[in-house]
Amino acid sequence: MGAGSVCFQRPGRNLAVRVGREEEGISSLRPELAAIARTLQATSLEVDLLYLCDSEAALNKVSRWIGSGPRTTLAGDANADIMTSIIECVRERVLRGARTFLVKVKAHRGEPLNERADTQAENARQLPSECRQWKTRTQRMTYEWNDNDGVKHVTAWSKAVRNAMLRGGAEFQRKKALNRAANNWNKAFLCSTDIVLHRIGQAASTGAQSDLMDSTRWGWSCMFQLQEADNWEKPAATTWAAEILFRDGESREFLGLWINSSVVHEAKKRRAKQVITCSFPCGKWLHMIGARASPGCELCKRERNMDLKPTNVLPTETVAHIQSAGCKALKKSVIGAHNSCWKYLIGAVCTHGEATRDLEFLGGDKDKQLEKLWAETKIGNILTWDEIADEAERLLESD
């Protein structure tokens, strides 16, 4: 890291310092503080100083010590070594009667002095390691990871480290799901030698960097083929929710914004996260962790007891079962929620859609019988109601 400053009254007096402790991570705040500290050290204690700085974070950090009294502390501050130098220099200047002004200016606006200071900072980065100042290590733990482009990062704990951990956990879950898809593909298609040989030959024909040489690409291929298979009626990977999140164009970024929104209630966020991570406390999950004796749906059991029906075989209480009309106790609630969502979407499209659109919703938000809907609209010009009735009777007779 490099820091630099230039003097307006003495153009030839430029300061450049290489800031140490890069092994704990690169920070933009640390070199800015180092530039302030080095300027204060090089300025006479009896001379007034006007320092123009383009870092608001550095100025805010210094301003916390102005008139704060004994309440402010450097305990736990990663830049305590540089801040100590700044505080001591400012204190000495106050005792000598010199005034110190720190003013915020905009960065990268073509200001000659600001551009020259940036050049000095870049030159300071090229200085040998023996010229480093403020290089004493702290006791903070450092973390190392590679980003999506393969660039290696080393830094102490920060938001970037937290995001890297979250991304690594998500990538692990994705790899786990793709491995499950590959195993499911083996169970579904290994029984047919011709299909297996055709699939392996197709993958091997692309060369050394084929799907067979990359477990991730092979998992994707297996999952896509299972999704297109007519005889596979289960999730290709782990869950239906996981498959939706894997697909492109399914508004995953909006789901992330919704979860991170401060407007959404935390209980709703928690439920959404539980569904996505397959940890929703339904009967199947509670049975898996040993909190319930049976994975059967308790609501269905209650309904069958009221109807005096046997309860020895119950549907499994999964998230899909609860949210579908398959659960008799929740059927009305589920249908009502489905209709509310559909009416909201229709209203939003009608209100915010373009006036020149060719799309028209028939029936509005009112539930109507098909025969009445045919009579009130122009659908009969395309397909008459008699044709619909005849086709319905034919289907009923074929059953």
| HEC letters along 210-245 | CHHHCHHHHHHHHHHHHHHCCCCCCCCCCCHHHHHH
Query: Does residue 96 sit in the same domain as residue 17?
Result: yes
Which whole number is the average pLDDT over 358-383? 71
Query: Does residue 193 sit in the same domain as residue 236?
Result: yes
Tell me the pLDDT tens digit for each residue of 46-55. Answer: 999 999 988 8
Neighbours of 21 (CB within 10 A): 23
Which whole number is the average pLDDT over 344-373? 72
What string of DSSP letters covers 286-333? Answer: HHHTTSSS--B-HHHHHHHHHTT---SS--B--HHHHHSTTSGGGHHH
- Residue type present at position 24: E
Query: Does residue 65 sit in the same domain as residue 128?
Result: yes
Query: Does residue 46 sit in the same domain as residue 134?
Result: yes
- Indicate the burial class of 212 (C-beta count within 10 angstroms; 0-12, 13-18, 19 or more): middle
Is the residue at 211 inside a domain?
yes
- Residue type present at position 36: I
Is the residue at 133 inside a domain?
yes
Query: Does residue 313 sit in the same domain as residue 393?
Result: no
Number of domains in the chain: 4
CA atoms within 13 A on the CB side of 255: 14
Q: Supply the CATH number for residue 99's domain.
A: 3.30.420.10
User: Are the C-beta atoms of 134 and 38 separated by less than 8 Å?
Assistant: no
Looking at residue 68, what is its pLDDT? 72
Query: Does residue 131 sit in the same domain as residue 9?
Result: yes
- Name residues whose C-beta falls within 8 Å of residue 239's C-beta, 6 or more positions apart in sequence: 278
Which whole number is the average pLDDT over 214-239? 83
Tell me the pLDDT tens digit for each residue of 80-100. Answer: 889 999 999 999 999 999 999
Domain boundary among 246, 269, 289: 246
Looking at residue 197, what is its pLDDT? 55
Is the residue at 22 inside a domain?
yes
The first and second tokens of residue 297, run together, are: 């749906």
Is the residue at 258 inside a domain?
no
Is the residue at 350 inside a domain?
no
Query: Does residue 98 sit in the same domain as residue 199?
Result: no
263 pLDDT tier (thresholds 50, 70, 90): very high
The first and second tokens of residue 29, run together, are: 């705040």
Work out whether strand 49-53 and strand 100-104 pair parallel, antiparallel, or are unpaired: parallel
Task: Using the predicted structure, report yes or no on whether residue 269 has a pLDDT greater than 70.
Answer: yes
Looking at residue 116, what is its pLDDT? 86
- Residue type present at position 28: S
Query: pTM surpassing 0.75?
Result: no
Domain boundary among 110, 139, 168: 139
Measure the CA–CA gap between 183 and 135, rounded to whole angstroms.
52
Is the residue at 272 inside a domain?
no
Phi-psi region of 205 (alpha: psi -120 to 50; beta: other; left: phi over 0): alpha
Query: Does residue 134 sit in the same domain as residue 164?
Result: no
Query: Does residue 43 sit in the same domain as residue 93?
Result: yes
Is the residue at 254 inside a domain?
no
190-204, 226-240, 318-332: segment of lowest average pLDDT: 190-204
The first and second tokens of residue 85, run together, are: 């130098």
Percent of the chain with pLDDT over 70: 90
Smallest CA-to-CA distance from 101 within 153, 59, 154 is with 59
113 pLDDT tier (thresholds 50, 70, 90): confident
Tell me the pLDDT tens digit for each residue of 119-136. Answer: 888 888 888 888 888 888
Is the residue at 118 inside a domain?
yes
Looking at residue 59, what is its pLDDT? 92
Give me the domain span that covers residue 306: 281-341
Query: Does residue 68 sit in the same domain as residue 120?
Result: yes
Range with the largest mean pLDDT of 1-15, 37-51, 55-69, 209-223: 37-51
Task: Using the predicted structure, report yes or no on whether residue 279 has a pLDDT greater than 90.
Answer: no
Which whole number is the average pLDDT over 288-294? 91
Angle at 276 between CA 254 and CA 238, to 5 degrees: 125
Query: Does residue 135 sit in the same domain as residue 10?
Result: yes
201 pLDDT tier (thresholds 50, 70, 90): low
Query: Does residue 38 sit in the same domain as residue 109?
Result: yes
Smallest CA-to-CA distance from 301 within 332, 329, 320 is with 329
The first and second tokens of residue 343, run together, are: 């009416």
Question: For residue 52, what are the β-bridge partners?
Answer: 103
Measure the CA–CA gap between 320 and 296, rounded to whole angstroms.
13
Which whole number is the average pLDDT over 360-379? 69
Looking at residue 366, what is its pLDDT? 60
Provide the CA 388 distance to its chain's centre, in angstroms: 48
Query: What's the Rg (C-alpha) of the chain?
Result: 34
